[in-house]
Homo-oligomer: A and B are copies of this chain.
Amino acid sequence: ADGAAYERALERHAGLAKPPGSLGRLEDLGARLAAIAGRCPPPIPSSPAVVVAAADHGVHAQGVSDWPQEVTAAMVETVAAGGAAVNAIARTVGARVEVVDVGTLRLGPVPGGVHDERVRSGTRDLAVEPAMTIEECRAAIGAGARVAAELIDGGADLLVTGEVGIGNTTASAALIAAFTGAEPAEVTGKGANLDHERTPHKVEIVRTALARHAADTSVEARGSLGTLASLGGLEHAALVGVMLAGAAARIPVIVDGVITGAAALAAVALCPDVAGYLIAGHTSAEPGGRSLPDRLGEPALLDLRLRLGEGTGALLAVPLVQAAARVLTDMVTLADVTKTA
């Protein structure tokens, strides 16, 4: 991101028709958008798109979820048919929805309208072995990057990250603990479960996975990519690809909650400069929800106690990002106003 454009945007804000600083967090956000685009005023995003990455998880075998794995594929169909929460909220903010099956368990073909980028049918059980090989992880990153690049070629100028995957809060907790050093109990929540009955068991599974990974002295397991492959999900890897593609195209990427946040920690670990292109959209009510905002050094834009995923919280932040860009373009200066007075 471009520090000079950031400074020019803050200067511009100081001269606009309002008390200095009175647009609060929109001012810094607008300056970040200028830094991302490398120009001030920044372009006003007009074509947001949410990428919903879907996959299943071998760790489901450990009894971490109240839901059967079939729900993942069923939710992919629901999103493709337009009946999920992400669709309703995307319509509200004028975003297109793209679903990528990067590895759900399914017998039949991927339904129409869904990007078929299946790397394998679910990950391996991260409690007992690496969830992905490095090659599989790379393939999933490539899938996400490919879908994002297609969207950008098609005119998308603001990317939003979403996901579907029964079991993926367990993998997310493992990634967050590995990338931040947090205690598993601090970053593991009930996820989509109805209550906290399984949460202590989820914490134990995360501990087991972290110990298994720490003991893995192979070259493959080392480094950020090795950590992502060992503990993450195929949808995490695909979302890393989305973030890398957004940053490469100088397009802002809004991060949603705890799963996309875990992917963002992996993306930033792989490539620290990506942080400058990420916007924390919503603080998940899940305990790991603050990990990415903490890493970016500022709270998420929204805190509405959502814990649904799919990209719902991040989509709700789209108008805030658009507004932050638009005030830098549309507002007259204080000098213009006082000339009239």
A-side residues, CB < 8 A to B, are 16-26, 68, 70-71, 73-75, 77-78, 81-85, 87-89, 91-93, 192-194, 285, 301-308, 312, 316, 318-320, 322-323, 326-327, 329-332, 336-338, 340-341
Contact of B17 with A85 in the complex, beta carbons under 8 Å: yes
Contact of A337 with B304 in the complex, beta carbons under 8 Å: no
Which B residues lie within 8 Å of A323 (CB)?
88-89, 92-93, 316
Contact of A340 with B74 in the complex, beta carbons under 8 Å: yes
Which B residues lie within 8 Å of A285 (CB)?
24
A-B contacts, 15 of them at CB < 8 A, read A17-B83, A17-B84, A18-B84, A19-B193, A19-B308, A24-B306, A26-B304, A70-B341, A71-B337, A74-B340, A77-B340, A88-B326, A88-B330, A304-B320, A318-B319
Contact of B25 with A337 in the complex, beta carbons under 8 Å: no
Contact of B88 with A194 in the complex, beta carbons under 8 Å: no
| Min CB–CB distance A326 → chain B (angstroms) | 5
Contact of B83 with A304 in the complex, beta carbons under 8 Å: no
- Given A24-B304, A194-B19, answer yes or no on A92-B322 (Cβ-Cβ < 8 Å): yes
Which B residues lie within 8 Å of A77 (CB)?
340
Contact of B18 with A308 in the complex, beta carbons under 8 Å: yes
Query: How long is the Cα–Cα vector from A82 to B78 in the complex, in angstroms?
Result: 41
Contact of B22 with A192 in the complex, beta carbons under 8 Å: yes
- Given A83-B332, A330-B91, answer yes or no on A19-B192 (Cβ-Cβ < 8 Å): yes
A-B pairs, 6 with minimum CB distance: A24-B305, A83-B332, A70-B341, A74-B341, A88-B330, A22-B308
Which B residues lie within 8 Å of A84 (CB)?
17-18, 331-332
| Min CB–CB distance A255 → chain B (angstroms) | 17
Query: How long is the Cα–Cα vector from A19 to B308 in the complex, in angstroms?
Result: 7
| Min CB–CB distance A162 → chain B (angstroms) | 13
Which B residues lie within 8 Å of A70 (CB)?
341
Which B residues lie within 8 Å of A318 (CB)?
319
Which B residues lie within 8 Å of A330 (CB)?
82-83, 87-88, 91
| Min CB–CB distance A44 → chain B (angstroms) | 8
Contact of B19 with A71 in the complex, beta carbons under 8 Å: no
Which B residues lie within 8 Å of A306 (CB)?
22-26
| Min CB–CB distance A169 → chain B (angstroms) | 11
Query: How long is the Cα–Cα vector from A89 to B322 in the complex, in angstroms?
Result: 9
| Min CB–CB distance A330 → chain B (angstroms) | 4
Query: How long is the Cα–Cα vector from A222 to B186 in the complex, in angstroms?
Result: 55
Query: How long is the Cα–Cα vector from A122 to B99 in the complex, in angstroms?
Result: 57
Query: How long is the Cα–Cα vector from A299 to B307 in the complex, in angstroms?
Result: 18
Contact of B192 with A85 in the complex, beta carbons under 8 Å: no
